[in-house]
Chains A and B, each alone.
Chain A
Amino acid sequence: MQTWNFLEYAAWGLSALFGLHMLADWLKTDSSYSEDVLTSSREGELEAMTEESHKG
């Protein structure tokens, strides 16, 4: 039964593929957007908006 030996290699290969894809996309994203945009998320935006619209 060689099938499972092939599957082992396939699993290694796929893992590397998923890993590399994430890594490549991560580097691409980091270099094409500014840090300010990427880390601009703030907590509690929904609450802040409902509050503002109550006032408005």
Chain B
Amino acid sequence: MADFDITSGERDGMGPHGTKVGLLRVLGPAHVWALGVGIVLVGEYMGWNFAVGKGGAYAALIACWFAGILYTCVAMIDSEVTSTVAAAGGQYTQAKHIVGPLMAFNVGLYLVFAYTMLEAANAITAGYLFSVVATMSGFEGELDQRPFIILVIMFLAWLNYRGVLATLTFNLVITAIAFSAILVLFLSTSGVLGGGIMQHAALFEGHELPYGWVGVLAAMHFGLWYYLGIEGTTQAAEEVRSPARSLPFGTLAGIMTLLIAATLTWYVCSGVLPWEFLGDGVNGSVAPLFDTARLSGSNGLVWFLGFGTLFATLASANGCINDASRAWFAMGRDKYLPAWFGAVHPKYRTPYRAIVFLVPIALIFALGAPLDQVITFSILSGLLEYTFMPLNIILFRKKWPMGSIKRGYEHPFHPLPAIVLLSLCGITFFAVFLGYGTQLVAMIGFYIVVSLWFHFRRYRFVDRGAQFTMPWPKPQGY
């Protein structure tokens, strides 16, 4: 071990197998936290409230907690696998080693889609925020949102292009500000400090469960939005200094942060905004935390939450560019996609071609599709990915039982989390079916077509044995 230190400036990222330029190992656990929470936190600022519209305020809270259980399982399973399979590409690389190439190709695409769509949704929201600020500052006429949408994507892509450390340090700062904005809003409106303005009982009266229990099921669809993206921490695996320690730590700290943020957000928003308004994210409350601040009567809170909303969208888009490009890059490196994408910038040490290539894709979706569609596509890709995870962990424990390889983190109660996760995914599929059945089938149709394309055409360019890179013994049963 003493021969060389992988984190030294001289050697980092360059290994004995011929890597001349690799990704830079510079990140610590705080960056992992910032990447995970940064992507997700925007979900508390916008989008989760569609769950209220689906089934009422109580349904949204139940969905919040059940989705919280779903994501806790995701985080536990992910922490175990990724602390062992630490490479850029995250779940894609896990699938490649544990389930098989075709599954890996699909998982890689889930990742790229979930993140690129989420990035587009964030850019749309940021453009909307600029138009609100313009109106508030007395601008007459319609602001053209397009230049701002494009600027957000271009600036963040540029930041990502220039290096991962600056990108995620930026994310750490703005995520921390956005998170503290939620805490401050809670403290100053709930009555903990000074007079509270919460009126839960009166606001819920007569509207406890407007759709009955089916509404609770339906709310699960957007319940995912409270946490969607926390699994993205694994994409940083090749850039953190000690993945086996930092990734589980950052991911589990991240999911705890989000459980707190999600519950506080539900509490303050549902205690101030009537459910019909809160639940309509298009014609009603686009940014519920911001609307809550507006009703608090404090100008300071309005500005703080306004900036919180903007920072949350930026942090999320930023993390999405980071994650989508890592997954795209990893697939290019294995020739699942054209090898040309597997390039690393010799100076900035980022997957620069993947970053540049995904910019126009994100722009197409940000400028050409409505927000709820983009969000639904993102959620669907995420959901397909979460359904893959229990299969993944079950096969992982079967092929390499405990003790046969060194795991950085071992999650407790196996196979309980896997079973819980699978059941919750089933419920969520049903929830999506209730509203967006056509998209669900279209989406799966798409994955079936690209799978056939991969199996019969693309896979011929992939080196069979060499794509298995982990120094593990032969899996059991082969």
Contacts of A42 in B (CB 8 A): 15, 17-19, 22, 333, 469
Give the contacting residue for B23; candidates A4, A41, A47; CB below 8 A: A41
Interface size class of A (residues with CB under 8 A): 35 or more
Asked whether B157 is an interface residue with its Cβ less than 8 Å from the other chain, the reply is: yes
Q: Tell whether, in the assembled complex, residue A41 and residue B19 are in contact, meaning their CB atoms are under 8 Å apart.
A: yes
Give the contacting residue for A15; candidates B151, B238, B243; CB below 8 A: B151
Asked whether B465 is an interface residue with its Cβ less than 8 Å from the other chain, the reply is: no
- What does the 1/0 interface line of A22-41 toward B look like (CB < 8 Å)? 11011001000101111111
- Kindly provide the distance from the CB of A17 to the nearest chain B CB, expressed in whole angstroms: 8
- Kindly provide the distance from the CB of A46 to the nearest chain B CB, expressed in whole angstroms: 6
Contacts of A36 in B (CB 8 A): 20
Q: Tell whether, in the assembled complex, residue B471 and residue A4 are in contact, meaning their CB atoms are under 8 Å apart.
A: no
Q: How far is the CA of A51 from the CA of B352 in the complex (A)?
A: 30
Q: Tell whether, in the assembled complex, residue B330 and residue A43 are in contact, meaning their CB atoms are under 8 Å apart.
A: yes
Known contacts being A37-B20, A40-B18, A45-B14, is A15 close to B150, with CB within 8 Å? yes
Number of interface residues of B (CB under 8 A): 58
Contacts of A3 in B (CB 8 A): 137, 139
Give the contacting residue for B144; candidates A8, A19, A52; CB below 8 A: A8
Q: Tell whether, in the assembled complex, residue B143 and residue A39 are in contact, meaning their CB atoms are under 8 Å apart.
A: no
Contacts of B15 in A (CB 8 A): 42, 45-46, 48-49
Q: Tell whether, in the assembled complex, residue A18 and residue B19 are in contact, meaning their CB atoms are under 8 Å apart.
A: no
Known contacts being A39-B333, A39-B339, is A45 close to B17, with CB within 8 Å? yes
Contacts of A26 in B (CB 8 A): 352-353, 356
Q: Tell whether, in the assembled complex, residue B21 and residue A38 are in contact, meaning their CB atoms are under 8 Å apart.
A: yes
Contacts of B353 in A (CB 8 A): 26
- Kindly provide the distance from the CB of A3 to the nearest chain B CB, expressed in whole angstroms: 8
Of residues 348 through 382 on chain B, the ones whose CB sits less than 8 Å from some CB of chain A are 352-353, 355-356, 359
Interface residues of A (CB under 8 A from B): 1, 3-4, 8-9, 11-12, 14-15, 18-19, 21-23, 25-26, 29, 33, 35-54, 56
